[in-house]
């Protein structure tokens, strides 16, 4: 299936607020984390918001990118 390419501005719309899906980007991939208990309302552990590229945040997190493997990839983040 062909995957969508998101700009940072487009990704920002998927912030999990007001019923919007919660998408996050990591290492170029965009994941749909809407189903996660830990991403309710588009926020994760107080410090992280959906609708953003969290690659650098994940480097500081107490878990690796492998935890994202259980969420569907909905597209790629453009380099612009």
For residues 10 to 49, the per-residue mask of contacts with another protein, x marking binding by CB under 8 A and - elsewhere, is --------------------------xxx-x----xxx--
The reply on whether position 65 binds another protein by CB under 8 A is: no
3-state SS track over 20-36: CCEEEEECCEEEECCCC
Question: Which positions ≥6 away from 18 have C-beta within 8 Å?
Answer: none
Q: What are residue 32's DSSP bridge partners?
A: 23
Number of chain residues interacting with another protein (CB under 8 A): 11
The footprint of another protein (CB under 8 A) covers 36-38, 40, 45-47, 60-63
């Amino acid at each position: 299936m062909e995957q969508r390419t998101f700009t940072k501005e487009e990704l920002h719309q998927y912030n999990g607020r007001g019923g919007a899906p919660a998408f996050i980007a990591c290492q170029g991939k965009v994941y749909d984390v809407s189903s996660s208990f830990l991403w309710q309302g588009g926020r994760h552990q107080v410090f992280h918001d959906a609708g953003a590229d969290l690659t650098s945040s994940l480097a500081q997190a107490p878990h690796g990118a492998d935890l994202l493997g259980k969420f569907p990839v909905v597209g790629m983040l453009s380099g612009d």
